[in-house]
Amino acid sequence: MLKNTLIKATEAAAKIIKENFDKTYTISNKEGMNNLVTEIDHKSEEAIINIIKADYPDHFILSEEVGEIVQDSEFKWIIDPIDGTVNYANGIPICCVSIGIEQAGKMIMGAVYNPFINEFFFAQRGLGATLNDKKISVTQKTEVIKSCLVTGFPYTYINEENGPLQVFEKFIRKGIPVRRLGSAAVDLCWVAAGRFDGFYEHQLSAWDSAAGFIIVEEAGGKVTNLKGDPYNPYQPGLIATNGLIHDEIVRIVNGGEI
């Protein structure tokens, strides 16, 4: 059963990242400033892939470190073995394992687990979202000015109109709290759990958002690209909200005033 394999793989990887959190391991840098990868990312990823292959050897896998393991299958596993690697490498326990499952191009299931605070988020299409097996839902705030938001910044800044710093400045100059946790998967799950009213980020990869995206939607929220169009995890930018402030966030991110 897909759900059982997903949970097993997520828990196995989470055990690895928790056990090695305060130990010595190798850290290297990928393309871009402070774009880190650790030895534990690779160990976590290996454990996930081995579990998936044991149960579903014919499924397609897309994972942050190994890339694509191509199979002729309608199922694709999208894996981030540690989302928030910079946090992890610096001893900051805001990081997680994130795994989403796509069937025929549509996200059908996702799991995000931060073992340091024992928070396991899960969603299955049409069945809602849970945190540690309890149903969660987004907030009911209707105004951005009264909202609490979260965002992230790319490692390499792109000179674009209404870029990350410009949008961030708009919010904070109006006194709107905007947090930056360092893990997009956690950001998305905390929107789903009602801790944040909205999340936006200009530059993400599929493994950053695949699981969190379905968790937000199944918690009653809305997820689009930066223009407000239907979202898929292969687009770089994302806006996720409770749905009630979504149009306003889209307008502001695209140059509108608060």
User: Over 60: is that where the pLDDT of 180 sits?
Assistant: yes
Q: Residue 130 belongs to what H/E stretch? A: strand 129-131
* Angle ∠(234,191,204) on CA atoms, nearest 5: 25
- In this prediction, residue 174 carries a pLDDT of 97
- In this prediction, residue 71 carries a pLDDT of 93
- Single-letter amino acid code for the residue at 257: E
Q: Which two tokens stand for residue 181?
A: 């946790």
Digit-coded pLDDT (tens) for 227-242: 999 999 999 899 999 9
- In this prediction, residue 5 carries a pLDDT of 98
Position 157 confidence tier, pLDDT thresholds 50, 70, 90: low
* Alpha-carbon separation of residue 208 from 64, 73, 102, 236 (angstroms): 9, 22, 14, 10
Q: Residue 222 belongs to what H/E stretch? A: strand 222-224
101-115 mean pLDDT: 98
- In this prediction, residue 67 carries a pLDDT of 87
- In this prediction, residue 26 carries a pLDDT of 81
- Considering only residues 65 and 114, tell me which one the structure prediction assigns the higher pLDDT: 114
Torsion, Cα 161 163 165 168, to 10 degrees, reads 100
- In this prediction, residue 158 carries a pLDDT of 64
Ranges for all domains in the chain classified under CATH 3.40.190.80: 144-253
> Whole-prediction pTM value?
0.95
Q: Which two tokens stand for residue 108?
A: 């059908």
* Alpha-carbon separation of residue 153 from 180, 199, 201, 203, 204 (angstroms): 8, 12, 7, 7, 9
Average pLDDT, the chain: 94
Ranges for all domains in the chain classified under CATH 3.30.540.10: 2-135
User: Over 60: is that where the pLDDT of 148 sits?
Assistant: yes
Identify the DSSP state of 230: B
Q: Of 115, 121, 118, give the one whose Cα is nearest residue 17.
A: 115
The answer to whether 215 and 209 are in contact (CB under 8 A) is no
- In this prediction, residue 32 carries a pLDDT of 56
User: Over 80: is that where the pLDDT of 155 sits?
Assistant: no
CATH of 144-253, one of 3.40.190.80, 3.90.1150.10, 3.20.20.60, 3.30.565.10: 3.40.190.80
- Considering only residues 23 and 136, tell me which one the structure prediction assigns the higher pLDDT: 136
CATH topology of domain 2-135: Fructose-1,6-Bisphosphatase; Chain A, domain 1 (3.30.540)
Identify the DSSP state of 64: T
- In this prediction, residue 37 carries a pLDDT of 75
- Considering only residues 22 and 30, tell me which one the structure prediction assigns the higher pLDDT: 22
44-70 mean pLDDT: 95
